[in-house]
């Protein structure tokens, strides 16, 4: 499981290039594209839901074993 900091770094992978032009281009593309913003919000909500579900199953001891 990624830490909050690691998730943030992954979501902003292009910033590792330290290129202000690339940063502005990505920011503009996201701001100008409603579909991308909606997909980003949807994927973040799905991630949060899956994380919560996994946490719940671990707390309840809900491990599954595959039959061979």
Give the global pTM: 0.41
Mean per-residue pLDDT over the chain, rounded: 82
Please say whether the beta carbons of 30 and 40 come within 8 A. Answer: yes
| pLDDT interval class at 21 (50, 70, 90) | very high
Percent of residues, the chain, with pLDDT higher than 70:
88
CA 64 to chain CA centroid, Å, is 25
Instruction: Say yes or no to pLDDT of 1 above 70.
Output: no
Residue-level pLDDT at 22: 93
Using one digit for the tens of pLDDT, what is the confidence trace for 38-63? 888 888 899 889 988 888 888 887 66
């Amino acid at each position: 499981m990624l830490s909050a900091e690691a998730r943030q770094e992954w979501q902003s992978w292009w910033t590792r290039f330290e290129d202000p032009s690339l940063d502005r281009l990505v920011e503009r593309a996201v701001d100008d594209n409603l579909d991308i913003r909606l997909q980003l919000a949807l994927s973040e909500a799905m991630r949060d839901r899956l994380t919560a579900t996994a946490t719940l199953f671990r707390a309840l001891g809900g491990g599954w074993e595959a039959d061979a």
